[in-house]
Amino acid sequence: MKILLQKGNEVIKTLLPVVILVLLLTLTIVQVESDIFVRFVIGSVLLLIGLSFFLWGIDLSMNTIGELMAGEVATSKHLIKILAMGFLLGFLITVAEPDLLILGLQIETASGHTMSAMTIVYVVSAGVGVTVAFGVLRLLKERMRFNTFMAIIYGIIFILALFVSEEFLAIAFDASGATTGALTTPFALALTFGLSSIKGGKRAEENAFGLVGVMSAGPILAVMLLSIITGQKHIQSAADPFVIERGIIGPLMRMLPVTLKESFIALLPISIFFFLLNAFKFKIGHKRILSIIGGLLLTLTGLVLFLTGVNTGFLEMGRIIGMQVAAFDRYLLIVVGFFLGMIVVLMEPAVHVLGEQIEEVTAGHIPVRLIRITLSGGVAIAIALSMVRIVFPSVHLWYFLIPGFIAAVIFSFFSDQVFVGIAYDAGGVASGPMTATFVLAFAQGAASMIPTADVMRDGFGVIAMVAMAPVLSLNILGTYFAHKQKRIARHERVASLAEERYPAIATGAQVCILVDIPRGLADEVVALARSVGATGATILHGRGGSSDQIVKIPLIGVEVLPEREMVLLVTDHESGVQVSTTLSAKRELDARIFATPTEALVKELPPNHA
């Protein structure tokens, strides 16, 4: 019960903002019937309870199943077996993913039934199976870095994008986001974590992420190839009319058995596969089996409640809000889309699962709060730009999508490599059931009310934008982290070098630095010292030098030492290190540097000078 309350508390924090946003809209510019509003409130409660049960069940079942499956794949020495197991796991976990079925039905409806929902499901699942197989093989054989592997995959995608229409481009990338939903993502994360733990090595932390991102690429390739092979370029059928259901209990009761069936079918293939392997291979104890069965039942219960709440409370509300905001002021769509993106991504179940794995793998090195803020900002901009596409007909999806992914791939070569896997995974987890229902319905509602927009072309594509945003934003964040780490390492090397050359600097809070240079260079020394942190200096003039610098005046035999200048600086410890190191590097100054803590200097002075 304590775990359930903990999960519930996490969910409330993420659910509350979207409920508040909807309430504000319904109290101001959006008018909804009372039964729809009540269904939204009930749906919110179901979503809260369902997501809490779901996350609890995932901890008990999918994480364990994924790690055991990972052991079976990782210990195999046969290439064919690794590829076959990878394909089978990818196909089975995807073919019954509820999010994908929801998207398939929406495509079937929007296309006037010219595209079958099940065709989309099976084609996409096959694509996921292929990419997962090669993703697992790459991880185990470790012949290629993850950023290079993904760059090759997206290079192929960019080439294929030249040969498909904008409708299929939107469907392909939308399918990518919908594939990595509430069920597939926790399993894929657990599988990756298990594989990286067994593989070990220097890249264990880096390899603990990325398989969700690999899964996301499969649907794009599969749908594009479907368009090219079948020769189907455009979808020009009329969409089914939007019909609002009436009543409160009736729609809930009709949806409950449907989602129960879908969720049961979703869990069945991978569960059967696991229990068959357990009977012949794993043979784990009864106590652990009962824990996994209990976890699967909790996952099933949570998934049923969550999807029922989303489909009955959020789907219609999203469509109505999109329609009425567009009718009120089409430019307001961009603002509402931005705020919707900020909060809806935090409601995705898989975002929480990914956050927990980031904390576990990196031991808190990468703050989960920072990841969530970056995700929120990136998705907010993505949905706002999707609304720009709907409002302005001359703006096309590929204006954002292709350059965005190209930029993400480029940044991945400069990013901290742990961030690369997290970024591609985050692209999948951000586009889950909330995006596939509420946000997509919002976009389609808006597109249906604007004469220059098309529901098929402009209504779809929003999931694709949501999937792209985290990949780009987190790779940018990873690049910043990598630059920061290099800067810290450089400062540590500088400090270490300065400590070796000037050990006195390391012993005091403030240091006194005396720089002896030839005449005429004092101003340059002061300028250099100020550029690295010193705030002031005193310049002294005199004569001195080594014996070979003595000049003897002819005839009278007087020896004259060359004129010198001395610069006296008192700085804090960090600035002292920087000043000493910078001046030492300027060999043309011919500087002699002396440094000592000010406390030591004061002690050495006579009492009347202290």
Same-domain pairing of 203 and 326: yes
Q: Are 180 and 429 in contact (CB under 8 A)?
A: yes
Same-domain pairing of 514 and 484: no
* Strand pairing report for 510-518 and 563-572: antiparallel
Same-domain pairing of 441 and 531: no
Q: Angle 145-141-220 (CA atoms, 0-180°, nearest 5)? A: 60
pLDDT tens digit string along 398-442?
888 889 889 989 998 988 888 888 888 888 777 766 676 778 888
Same-domain pairing of 431 and 508: no
Quote the pLDDT of residue 601: 44
Residue 495 within a domain: no
Q: Is the pLDDT of residue 13 over 70?
A: no
In angstroms, rounded to a whole number, what is the distance separating the alpha carbons of residues 569 and 269? 74
Q: What is the pTM of this model?
A: 0.67
Residues whose CB is less than 8 angstroms from the CB of residue 518 and which lie 6 or more positions away in sequence, other chains included: 562, 563, 564, 565, 590
- Domain containing 402: what range? 2-234+247-489
Residue that the structure tokens 């989309």 belong to: 120
Same-domain pairing of 219 and 124: yes
Q: Are 167 and 417 in contact (CB under 8 A)?
A: no
Q: Are 421 and 208 in contact (CB under 8 A)?
A: yes
Beta-bridged to residue 489, according to DSSP, are: none
Number of domains in the chain: 2
Nearest 5°: phi and psi at 546?
A: -85, 170
Same-domain pairing of 465 and 534: no
Residue 132 within a domain: yes
Average pLDDT of the chain is 78
Bigger pLDDT: 79 vs 206: 79
CATH at residue 512: 3.30.70.120
Q: Is the pLDDT of residue 54 over 60?
A: yes
Same-domain pairing of 536 and 572: yes
Quote the pLDDT of residue 8: 67
In angstroms, rounded to a whole number, what is the distance separating the alpha carbons of residues 50 and 309? 8
Residue that the structure tokens 């400069």 belong to: 414
Same-domain pairing of 182 and 286: yes
Same-domain pairing of 374 and 252: yes
Beta-bridged to residue 512, according to DSSP, are: 570, 596
Same-domain pairing of 455 and 571: no
In angstroms, rounded to a whole number, what is the distance separating the alpha carbons of residues 175 and 244? 25
Q: Last residue of some domain: 489, 514, 545? A: 489
Residue 442 within a domain: yes
Q: How many CB atoms lie within 10 A of CB 603?
A: 9
Q: Are 442 and 378 in contact (CB under 8 A)?
A: no
How confident is the model over 214-239, as a mean pLDDT? 78
Same-domain pairing of 216 and 360: yes
Same-domain pairing of 526 and 478: no
Residue 240 within a domain: no
Q: Is the pLDDT of residue 610 over 50?
A: no
In angstroms, rounded to a whole number, what is the distance separating the alpha carbons of residues 555 and 549? 19
Q: Last residue of some domain: 462, 489, 516? A: 489
In angstroms, rounded to a whole number, what is the distance separating the alpha carbons of residues 430 and 98? 16
Confidence of residue 79 (pLDDT cuts 50, 70, 90): confident
Residue that the structure tokens 């995006």 belong to: 435
C-alpha torsion 420→424→429→433, nearest 10: 160
How confident is the model over 169-185, as a mean pLDDT? 76
Q: Are 303 and 266 in contact (CB under 8 A)?
A: yes
Q: Angle 39-43-49 (CA atoms, 0-180°, nearest 5)? A: 150
Q: Which H or E run contains 593?
A: strand 592-597
In angstroms, rounded to a whole number, what is the distance separating the alpha carbons of residues 171 and 169? 6
In angstroms, rounded to a whole number, what is the distance separating the alpha carbons of residues 539 and 530? 14
